[in-house]
Structure 1
Amino acid sequence: MLPNRRTAAAIGTLALAGALICAAPAQAESASPAPAAPKTAKSAPKGDGAKAICKRLPKTETRVSTAITRLKGDATVLGSVARLEQRVTNAQTAGHTEVHTYLNDRLTFRKSLLPTLQKRQDDLKAVSTWCSAQESK
C-alpha cells in the first residue's frame, strides 16, 4: 500500500526536522570561536630576490623616472609640485583656510618625495650595473 500525500508530507517534514535538530549541536560546536593561529610564513626566504629585482629593473627604472618627471613638471602637469603650489596659493587667496591647510600638507609630502625618488634612481643605477655584471658571469 502506498502512503497518501499527507502521510508522505508528514514523514518528509519529520525527517527534515530531525536532520535540523541533529545538525544544531554540531553547528554550535563549530560556531564557537576558537583562537586563531597567527599566520606565519612557511619558511624564511632563502635568498635576497636578486634575480627578480634584475628582471623587473627596466620597469622599475621607468616608473621612478616618470614620477620624477611628473613632480618636476610645470603648473600644467597633473601631479607636479608646481601645480599643487598654485592650488595652495589659490586657496589662500580665496580665503579657504581649511582647504589651504590640507593642500599645504599634501605639498609638503610631495616635495619630500622628490629627493626620495632621486635617491632611489641612483640606487637603481647601481643595481643595474650589478645585474649586468651578473649576466656576464
Structure 2
Amino acid sequence: MLPNRKTAATAIGALALSGALIWAAPAQAESASPAPAASKTAESAPKGDGAKAICKRLPKAQTRVNTAIDRLKGGPTVLGSVARLEQRVANAQTAGHTQVHDYLNDRLTFRKNLLPTLQKRQDDLKAVSAWCSAQGAK
C-alpha cells in the first residue's frame, strides 16, 4: 500500500530535520566551548624602538601637530579653535540652552587641556628631530 502524500512529506521533513540537528550539534558544541580563541598577537617582541620609521615620519608628524596648535589658537572664525568654542558656549548660555551649554563647556575644557599636550608633543618632536639629524637618519 502506498502511503499518502501528507504522511510521506511529514516523514521526509522529520528525517531532514533530524539530519540537520545531527550535523549542527558538533558545530554548536565547538562554538560553545570555553576555550579561548587564538589571539592575533605578534610572533615576537619588537627588536628595536622603530627610530628609523619615526625619523622618516617626523616631518608629517610635526606638520600635523603644528596645524592642530594653529587651529586651537585661532580666532572665533577658525573652525576648531578654542575662541570659537568659547563663543558658542557664551551663545548657549545667553539663549538659556542649559544642556547644550554644559555639553559645549565640557568640550571646551577638553580642548583647552589639549593645547598644552600638543605643545609638549611639539617640543618632543623638536628633540627627536635633533636626534635624527645627529644620527643621520633623516
Query: If the length of structure 1 is used for normalisation, what is the TM-score?
Result: 0.78
Aligned to 1:52: 53
How far did 1:32 drift?
Answer: 2.7
For structure 1, which runs of at least 5 residues remain unmatched after alignment? 1-12
Aligned to 1:61: 62
- Partners in 2 of 1:78 and 1:89 — Cα distance? 16
For structure 2, which runs of at least 5 residues remain unmatched after alignment? 1-11
Matched AA of 2:91: N
Aligned to 1:27: 27
How far did 1:133 drift?
Answer: 1.2
- Partners in 1 of 2:110 and 2:119 — Cα distance? 15
Aligned to 2:80: 79
Matched AA of 1:113: L
Is 1:135 aligned to residue 136 of structure 2?
A: yes
- Structure 1 runs (4+) greater than 3 angstroms displaced: 16-22
How far did 1:97 drift?
Answer: 1.1
How far did 1:21 drift?
Answer: 6.1
Matched AA of 1:109: F
Q: How many residues align?
A: 124
Matched AA of 1:26: P
- Partners in 2 of 1:106 and 1:21 — Cα distance? 54
- Partners in 1 of 2:52 and 2:110 — Cα distance? 33
Matched AA of 2:34: A
Aligned to 1:110: 111
Q: 1:28 to 1:119 in 2, by over 3 A?
A: closer
Q: What secondary structure sits across from 1:58 in the alignment?
A: helix
Matched AA of 1:35: A
Matched AA of 2:31: A
Identity of aligned residues (%): 71
Q: What secondary structure sits across from 2:63 in the alignment?
A: helix
Query: If the length of structure 2 is used for normalisation, what is the TM-score?
Result: 0.78
Moved more, 62-71 or 43-52: 43-52
